[in-house]
Structure 1
């Protein structure tokens, strides 16, 4: 709506008053509603609508990125090859990007909340101005009634005075009467304009009421969207936390796999033999001549005791071959700790007429070893061992 520019001059003797060209009326320091209030309010509503559209588009983009991230996590759970390791890096980058976008969303939400507060403040200011306009209208009506009463009294006084004066004063009376009619015309004009102002105030009040309802509806929509955005933000944060948890779990599993692979790739190998022909006593057979030793921490202990002690758990091959000079057979045992894994017979030839009868017996087993377990060969009797043809071998295969 536009204002009605009005300038009224009411002269009665030496007194008068002036109305401004605003739609409101100044009274006691109050200020009426001007068109700039409505323009400002409409601008604020347009800014609100534009901000809401941007936020909805941003939320949609975030949902798309979350779905893409979920697909990447699903693919990542299927295995641990090189491609999926690259997917972990991509997932980290997308997670950081999503956290950055979430911060932008929070900033936009704060801006939108501030805009709503400014809009509410503008509505409150307009309502106060409307109340001031109503009060000014009441005061104007009181003044109008006062001047109407003054005009009636003045007319009565003029009538009385006219009856009491002589004919010589008729000219002056006529001029005075003309002034009275002019004053009445101005009072009537003021009354008409007061009605126009009252009508304008009524329509402005209706406009403010409609605008207030529209603002409340818009505010409810904003609050609803904010609650939806807050819920989606919580869901997004939960998904981020789940993704970070899964990512951390995958990293732990990968490190565990790497540890196992390193452990599997640890090399342990030992080959030891007799130095010369000797008669070995019953019990643990010792092989003091070290031919190969890889990953062995206590060679002297093995040479002194004849027992291989495991430092790295895994699967081992345990192999022993022993050459015997004698006509009678004998047997030896392949042991893990105190348990026998295998028994090996070295045959003899009681019918041979030669002074030396050489025979070899060999055994090989695969055994699961833990740290601290031992492997050794043992006999139940003393036997003649051919040193250069008798050896022990231990190899870690995984």
Structure 2
């Protein structure tokens, strides 16, 4: 636009100059050659001055455009740097979480091995005690061989009854010990994530239907459809929830049955979204339920995940 105005001004100046020269050509007879040249020179000087003024304006315009382009490039670089820093923060957090989970699993494995060794020692002691009692009973039987046949039969009957009782008691204790060992060694672990980003209404149970890890959970379809983790093996459990949302002042809870265990507040969202993590340890009995519930409607991303691991 400025260039177009500049061209129009030049054309008007030349038109004025030509008109002036044409009008003066009629009076050359009255003016001297010197006067004519002086007027032409004066108009050329004025034209040169206007050319300099518009040249200066063109330079200022070019500098303004260059400065604006530099600011745009600088803003683009800052935006790319910020996005890259957010990605790096997410990668670091994921790495720390994976390391923590692996450490927890390794610790649980070590505890399971120690428990197995302890129960093996108890079983060996119990078997040795039983063997010793058998030897005592056998020795008593040999001492009674000198008694009469009637006494022998009576003692034999009493021995058989006592032996059957001991075997029965031992079998009950042995089966109970085996069940305890099996339950303590049974591994239970689950990691599941929100299948897609969506808005969850207030007071609703959050569903984590994208199963990432499943160890020892048979009815996983029920968990996917209801969002309720139902304990089938009693023990000490490590429970965590990593929630991602862009809803200001959003709150979520972790419930054990109908009791609220953990309350987590997002606060004000400074960027596109915020991530909050809740972690706790609790004893669960068979039938206990663990759920994640919302307070107020909130938008939840698919990166939100729930993890539960049986420790012993």
> Normalising by structure 1, what TM-score?
0.42
Secondary structure of 2:301's counterpart equals strand
- Decide which of 247, 262, 273 is 1:342's aligned counterpart: 262
Distance 2:169 2:155 in 1: 21
Q: Secondary structure at the match of 1:290?
A: strand
User: Within 5 Å, which residues of 2 pair with 1:21-36?
Assistant: none
* 1:266 and 2:193 are equivalent in the alignment: no
Distance in 2, Cα, partners of 1:314 & 1:344: 25
Separation of aligned partners in 2, 1:347 and 1:94:
73
> Partner of 2:169 in structure 1?
249
Q: Does the alignment pair 1:374 with 2:289?
A: yes
* CA deviation map 1:60-107 (0-9, x unaligned): xxxxxxxxxxxxxxxxxxx945244223224324424543553x223x
Question: Structure 1 residue 237: deviation in Å?
Answer: 8.5
SS at the partner of 2:302?
Answer: strand
The whole-number CA distance in structure 2 between the counterparts of 1:291 and 1:279 is 22
* 1:91 counterpart (118, 121, 133): 133
Q: Is 1:314 the equivalent of 2:232? A: no
Q: Distance in 1 between matches of 2:168 and 2:266?
A: 58
Q: How many residues align?
A: 191
| 1:357 aligned residue | 272
Secondary structure (helix, strand or coil) at the match of 1:347 reads coil
Matched residue, 1:391: 305
Query: In structure 1, what is the Cα distance between the partners aligned to 2:299 and 2:130?
Result: 64
Distance 1:81 1:313 in 2: 22
Query: Distance in 1 between the 2:170 and 2:229 partners?
Result: 37
Of 114, 138, 146, 1:105 maps to 146
Distance 1:273 1:320 in 2: 10
- Superposition map of 1:184-223 within 5 A: none
SS at match of 1:302: helix
- 2:221 alignment partner, SS class: helix
Match of 2:224 in 1: 303
Unaligned runs of 5+ in 2: 1-120
Q: CA deviation at 1:310?
A: 1.9
Distance 1:333 1:367 in 2: 15
Quickly say closer, same or farther: Cα 1:300–1:244, change in 2 above 3 A.
closer
Aligned residue for 2:232, secondary structure, equals: coil
Q: Cα deviation per residue 1:183-232 (whole Å; 9 max; x = unaligned)?
A: xxxxxxxxxxxxxxxxxxxxxxxxxxxxxxxxxxxxxxxxxxxxxxx7x9
How far apart, CA to CA, are the structure 2 residues paired with 1:272 and 1:367?
19
For structure 1, which segment, 365-374 or 247-256, has the greater mean C-alpha deviation from structure 2 after superposition? 247-256
Change (3 A) 1:244 1:300: closer
Structure 2 residue aligned with 1:5: none
**What is the distance in 2 between the residues matched to 1:80 and 1:240?**
27
Report the counterpart of residue 23 of structure 2 in structure 1. Answer: none
**C-alpha displacement at 1:392, in angstroms?**
0.4
> C-alpha distance in 2, partners of 1:377/1:310?
15
Larger radius of gyration: 1
State the Cα distance separating 1:322 from its structure 2 match: 0.3
Distance in 2 between residues matched to 1:101 and 1:89, nearest whole Å = 19
- Contact 1:284-1:377 within 8 A present in 2 as well: yes
CA contact (8 A) 1:347 1:361 kept: no
Deviation of 1:335 after TM superposition, in Å, equals: 0.7
Q: Secondary structure at the match of 1:303?
A: helix
Shift of residue 266, structure 1, vs aligned partner: 1.4
Give secondary structure in 2 for the equivalent of 1:387.
coil
Structure 1: tracts of 5 or more residues without a match: 1-78, 114-229
Query: For residue 60 of structure 1, what is the aligned residue in structure 2?
Result: none
